[in-house]
Structure 1
Amino acid sequence: MRKMHGRKRFIMSSNDNTNGKKPEENGKELAFGKKKSAVEKKGKNEAALKPKRKITIGWVFGMVVLILIAISFVLAPAIQAFVGQGTSNGIVFGKYGKEEIKYSYGNYFYDQVQNYANQYSGSEANQTQALYQIWKSAYDSTVLFTAINQLASKAGIIATDEVVKRAIIESGAYDKDGKFDVKTYQDASAERKTSVEKSIRRSLPYQMVIDDVGTVLSSSSEVEYIAEMAGNGRTFRYISLNPALYPDELASQYALQNKQLFYSMDMSIISMDSEENAKAVYDAIVNGETSFEEAATQNSLDSYAAEGGKIGRLYYYGLVSNFKNADEAVTLLSAKSGDVLGPFEANGAWAIYKLNSTPQEADYASEELLASVKAYLATSDSNSIDTFLADLATELQREIASKGLDEVALEHDLSVVEVSATPLNLGESQYMSNFSYTDNAGLLANAATNPEIAKQLYTAEEHTLLDPIKSGASYLLVETGENVQDETMGSYIRTFYDYYSGAQNQQDLSQALYSSDAFEDNFLTTFLNVVLGQSE
């Protein structure tokens, strides 16, 4: 059966993620954030401390377009004035077949930029990010528009004059009080009439194809089959055994045997793109030419720069992975508050550290330390903790067989997770519900992504306690419930299936066109080089 996706008009490339996340503190591994700017060294410390952004004609063009977009006007004369006659004739972002995906004054791509600019008007989003989203959304729309119009042309679909006239009347462009008004039409300028007709004439073949694809009806047998599947579900109950159950005394013992890992210190960091630049900044700090915090704000390439480089308190084990040579990290343990150390080679960068506190030995009985030890064991030294949980699961399985799930959960202070009726949905079709909706804890949902586990959940007899199931670092003891027939869900599918199917057909067509060999995608390169002017 087909996998149903929600209606999504534009398809984003795999490299379109623009959301940076700041690494977690305390017990987490240190990770560099997204780079903010490049640092150029010109033989002096001052050059490394105060990098200058390269200004290009393309960058000027990008900023001019952004400013103009903010008031919803991108004028051809402005483009021509800043980037010259050649570029003002259009910017080519790719091809579909032999047809260029070009931005030029008055064309479909141009109109889409205007539409999305209007949506971002007044937005407080980062300007560069907003500019990217405007152009990328307009580009994606233009790619599909171009490809579908090519299909329409091959199929002989055209917009006749009569169809165009009717579409103009129904467009609302000349409405008054909600109805087409002859006088409003007659009073409109010739330029306005030409613009409206041009827009409608070029859009009609595209819209005809989209409407046809979206209104294809499914057979009654198909609808009944899906409705029956969606309406047949099964309930479940389970308890989870997670790393937090690892005995405190064993966690404390591990920490005592590995003291170095659990020393903690308050840290700040400056991350640089080269050893040369890092040394220049380090020398400027130790010579008193600048403070660590000022140097971090002006030069650091990670997400802590805005805070003057301050990370917060970290355990030593969370710092080690940031060193290319792990032995160099030991230097931090012998430092004292206020010391500036480095530069050290990191993974793809160079780092300078400042100790805001002298490293402290752990309190081996504190709840915070014990929780961090267990988290560390679960991810970095999992054998011992996994063995403990597997043995505990086997033991509790025997207890549940004689006492029942609820009593055993009560005795061991564990919560029973109730999962309402869920259909077997291996393909995660959105025509049907799945565990992501019914399992609030999410552990069974995670385990059921394994087809063998999912099969086991639905082929076992009702009210059966299953063997322990691994879910991430946890073990689950799952009891199957009852098979439930949900007539409401079946009725819902029967009522709305054609709508869902039509949306799915449109989505499938979009995906097929966007992944076609006929599509030549040069958006990112063109956007960076021409719009932002970052050719380097």
Structure 2
Amino acid sequence: MLQSIRDRTSGIVAGFVVALIVVPFAFWGVESFFSGGGDPVVAKVGDQKIHQSQFRRAYEQRYQQYVQLMGSNFRADQFNQAQFQQSVLDDMTQEYQMRQFAQDAGFRVGDGVLLYALSDIPAFQKDGKFDVETYKSMLQRQGLNSQRFEAQMRDSLQIDQMRDAVVGSAFGLPVEAKAIVSLAGQQRDLSYALFSLAHYRQTLSISDAEVQKYYQDHQSEYQAPERIRLSYVELSSDTLPAVAEPSAETLKALYESEKTGRFSAPEERKLSDLMINFGNDKAAALKKAQDLAARLKAGADFAQLAAAESDDPISKKVGGALGWFKRGQMPEANIEKALWALQPGQSSEPVETAKAWHLLHVDEVKAAAVKPFEDAEVQSELKELHKNREQQKQFQTLSEKLEQLAFENPSSLEPVAKALNLTVQTSEWFTRTGGTGIAAQEAVKQAAFSPEVFKDGENSKPLTLGDSQIVVVRKADYEAPRQKKFEEVAEAVRGLVRENGAKARAQADAQALLDGLNKNAGSLQDLAAQRGAEFKNLGPVRRDNGSEDRAVVDALFKLPHPKEGTASYGLATLGNGDVAVLAMDRVAAGDVPDSVPGAQMRQLQQLMANMEFEGYRKRIGEEIKVKIVNPPQADTTSNPDL
């Protein structure tokens, strides 16, 4: 979720407190598009539905992010599609719950907050400031429109309002902090017997009959999924012919056409604001604003007065300073009109908005300016602009030819490659879950198994994979799903049978030792020696112990306090599969501090705030029910032993 963004709709300072915005999870617009009757419902969340198309959109974006993150380490044959689908669906249902609850609870995001949130995203900035063209271009590259993106942003900010309300109001008492510090410092005396899987793997004898039986009983786990390999041609801006150097006349004409928008800096005004909330008495608030305006006319310093009197807790810390504005950037029409009526150094009369009176002050004015044609930066930008536009024209022309040639020659890519001077390439094998290279792209996966390509053996339509990348694919090879022969997987099955047997033996021996301890059949050390287990006596152990396996430490601190003269016993399965039998015979309480240091107190309060929000989120989950209607299905059965 977004962090620490408050919707301060009572003041025009709203969005200036926005930190770095990261739109959560995926760019799927929920209310921005509708699904037809042929789009099955995956899940119902409260009074809303998640359709298959919405789930696929979210899944594919998360999948692409995962593939990019893994890079060359991504292995399609080891990708657990079912688990990944469940993770995506869990995230979607949780966000739907949060959004519905926030909406019903009355949380709202004003246009001002949305505007400044967008302005603060670095990806939408040029030279450190929000740029409309950069914003539109970035969204276009992501395949988004501004309405859908802004709706998603508004939803995210709304959810964060709710989170901030809970976290911001959470608190911890000093006595609670002292108890947590004492608990964190608690020590427990630990000894344990370790049953190592490595020992059982070496001593366990596995017969051929056992391997055969396991294979027969689990044949469904040894299915080779269908897979395909594609031939394709790729048109990319990287391979386009070099653009000729433009003439001075060409650059001059381009400059004249772009001068107003690209090379002109409009007038900007540096604004400060002193806000007086209406509260319960609008007239009284106006009287206060008028009195402050009179003090400003009499020579009072605006920054000092704003710091002392403004009702906006954010801007008053910096003397009411809001920063630089161009025409049309203010969300309030009255504020916009008053701002551009003032002279530098002048303060306004009270200006009314929906919830407050404002006194405005123009600190400084930057006059409009036009960069000359001869400027070195202008020349460089013009040449780059000319190059990009010429490449776009080339790419557009070749794209149209590619589409026409692929249509006219549906049974081969050779004529297409020859006419456009391209190379016919071949992908790696991949399944319906995807693969590497172009096979990681959803458009390619969909086309590969489409009726035209898969069944009819024709060329695909041109597939856009990026800003300037188009491919046309066709089926090169195909292997149908099949049952793997025993000989193909015999060694893998034998290893699995051995591993399962080792785990079962280790668990059984550990349980037998634990039963002996509970029957007072001997000490842990003696019983461990009898069963060939390794004995370790660690002595006092804290919760933050980093040398032992985390499973051992977690199990230790879940054991009940031992009774006088006895020990508490338990089991723990380590991360590597080894099994430990634990004995704990003493608990030493941590010291109770006289006071908790400030930094530690803040950490504990943050911890308690997060715990409170987690409880709040669970309560939302209980109130807004989730019903899975059509669970996502993996495209095919896969196994690493393909």
Which TM-score band applies after superposition, normalised by the shorter structure? 0.3 to 0.5
Q: Return the TM-score normalized by structure 1.
A: 0.45
Bigger Rg, structure 1 or 2: 2
